Amino acid sequence: MRKRIFQIILVILITVFCLAGVSSAAEFWLRAGTFIKTMPDGVQVPMWGFARCTANFASCNPLRVPGPPLIVPPGENTLVIHVRNNLAGPYTEPVSLVIPGQAMPTDGTASSPAPVKVPDENGNLRVRSLVHETAVGSDGVYVWNALKSGTYLYQSGTHQAVQIQMGLYGPLKMDAAPGRAYTGVPFDREVMLFFSEIDPALHTAVVTNNYGPGKAMTSTMYYEPKYFLINGEPYSSATSAIPAGSAGQRVLIRFLNAGLESHVPILDRHYMSVLAEDGNVFEHPKEQYAPLLAAGKTLDAMITPKAQGTYAVYDRMLSLTNAAASPGGMLAHLRIASAPAGAASHGQR
């Protein structure tokens, strides 16, 4: 009898340990491909971008820039992203994925990340990719363990000088708990403002195989962006205001900058409580109206709007044209609704 009880306990223990060991994983399928993006002035820019696909790439949404938001449920420990490289010629490259602020991914079997090195003209090995690559026409898998909560960019880890600029980037977030961006940071609503830039001359050179040593455009040295995007679009008369909660609510703004230049987002008539950068929460939030959103960076900021209205958010580094045409660029509007009757206000410092 005593032996039987012991066996039951053992079975229970093994079951518990097995469940713990097979903790759930967030799993996404992204297709990288080539597409044409039309600017407000009619200019057509060749882009590389990501599309969200269903499991095993059964079906895919259209390609987009920035790539589809990847929302990892709170508490996940492991992230698996499958990448299908469908870049189309005449010029293509292998691609990969990294998430600055998280550990380097592996392919799920290797014990450590595997940078890819290629010989230059002198035979010296140079790093082309920070992690293992996915060749054109094939699928790859990228696995992160010990995920950290926060707001992050995902982007290609291969030939980054070109591939990030070409559009292989997107946002990823994981909340610490439902309704809490970080421990001790509750919010009612959230808005994402994703900044990036496009230099059409660079894009054309890359896709037509005129980019690189000895070719028409040798490097990104003379990078000169003409279009400045918030959430993938430069401002135009067709831009509509972004709903951003209502007066009295705690509205979390997630700022991301995949551009090669820094920007300074100012929300008219509001201070922001900047509470985290690069997925790291501050011990003391900073009250600012002009935070620096450096290239490659993410910032999380909280506002508690006092009054309903439509408020402009603009880049104070003044990237406010579409090529030479004004207005344009990094200008958007947040629409704050009036406070619902009887709603509790969280006030504002």
Partner 1 sequence: MRSIMMQRFRWFPVMAVLLLLGASPALAAIQGVTGTTFNLTAKADHISTPDGGSIHMWGYALNNGRMQYPGPTLILNQGDTISITLTNNLPPGAGNVSILAPGQSGGTATGGVQGLITREAPPGGSVTYNFVAAEPGTYAYYSGTRPELQVEMGLIGTIIVRPAGFNEASNKTAYGHPETRYDDEFLFLLSEMDPNIHELVEAGLMNMVDNTKYFPVYWFINGRAAPDTMLDANVSFLPTQPYNCLPMTRPGGRLLMRIVNASRDLHPYHTHGNHHKVIAFDGRLLESAPGAGPDLAVADFTTSVPPGGTADGVFQWYAKAGWDIYGTDNGHDCVDGNGDDLDDSTYEYCPDHGKPFPVDLPHKNDTTFGAFWGGGPFLGTAEPLPPGEGGFNPNGAYFFMWHSHSEKELTNFDIFPGGMLTMMFVEPPSPPLINP
Question: With binding defined as CB under 8 A, does residue 270 bind partner 1?
Answer: yes
Beta carbon of residue 183, minimum distance to partner 1 (angstroms, whole number): 18
Other beta carbons within 10 angstroms of residue 243's beta carbon come to 12
Q: By the 8 A CB rule, do 134 and 81 touch?
A: no
Q: What is the DSSP string of 228-271?
A: EEETTB---TT--PEEEEETTS-EEEEEEE-SSS-B-EEETT--
Could you say which of 319, 334, 336, 339 contacts partner 1 (CB under 8 A)? 319
Q: By the 8 A CB rule, do 78 and 147 touch?
A: yes
Q: What is the DSSP string of 105-132?
A: PB-SSSSS---EEEE-TTS-EEEEESS-
Pick between residue 66 and residue 329 the one whose CB is nearest to partner 1.
329
What residues form DSSP beta bridges with 336?
309
What residues form DSSP beta bridges with 332?
313
Could you say which of 224, 241, 343, 344 contacts partner 1 (CB under 8 A)? 224
Supply 51's token pair: 């599309």
> Distance (Å, rounded) from C-alpha 170 to C-alpha 49?
9
The region of 11-19, 71-79, 134-142, 224-232 touching partner 1 under the rule CB under 8 A is 224-232
Beta carbon of residue 288, minimum distance to partner 1 (angstroms, whole number): 5
Supply 346's token pair: 């969280």
Beta carbon of residue 220, minimum distance to partner 1 (angstroms, whole number): 15
Question: With binding defined as CB under 8 A, does residue 57 bind partner 1?
Answer: no
The region of 160-168, 203-211, 220-228, 244-252 touching partner 1 under the rule CB under 8 A is 220-228
Beta carbon of residue 239, minimum distance to partner 1 (angstroms, whole number): 10
Could you say which of 150, 171, 291, 296 contacts partner 1 (CB under 8 A)? 291
The alpha-helical segments, DSSP class H, found in the chain are 2-21, 160-166, 200-207
Pick between residue 173 and residue 333 the one whose CB is nearest to partner 1.
333
Q: What is the DSSP letter of 339?
A: P
Could you say which of 226, 250, 254, 297 contacts partner 1 (CB under 8 A)? 226
Beta carbon of residue 297, minimum distance to partner 1 (angstroms, whole number): 12
Say if residue 66 is preceded by a cis peptide, omega within 30 of 0: yes
For Cα atoms 41, 238, 257, give the angle at the middle one, nearest 5 degrees. Answer: 80
Interface characters, 294-313, with partner 1 (x: CB under 8 A): ------------xx----x-
Q: By the 8 A CB rule, do 31 and 63 touch?
A: yes
Beta carbon of residue 2, minimum distance to partner 1 (angstroms, whole number): 60
Q: By the 8 A CB rule, do 158 and 96 touch?
A: yes
Nearest to 313 by CA among 224, 194, 226, 185: 194
Question: With binding defined as CB under 8 A, does residue 22 bind partner 1?
Answer: no
What part of residues 326-345 is at the interface with partner 1 (CB under 8 A)?
326-327, 329, 331
Could you say which of 324, 341, 342, 347 contacts partner 1 (CB under 8 A)? 324
Burial 198-211 (b: 16+ CB within 10 A, else e): bbbbbbbbbbeeeb
Question: With binding defined as CB under 8 A, does residue 136 bind partner 1?
Answer: no
**Total site size for partner 1, rule CB under 8 A:** 35
Pick between residue 208 and residue 288 the one whose CB is nearest to partner 1.
288
Beta carbon of residue 271, minimum distance to partner 1 (angstroms, whole number): 6
Question: With binding defined as CB under 8 A, does residue 2 bind partner 1?
Answer: no
What residues form DSSP beta bridges with 195?
230, 257
The region of 37-45, 65-73, 246-254, 283-291 touching partner 1 under the rule CB under 8 A is 283-291
Which residues are near partner 1 by CB under 8 A? 224-226, 262, 264, 266, 268-271, 284, 286-292, 306-307, 312, 314, 316-321, 323-324, 326-327, 329, 331, 349
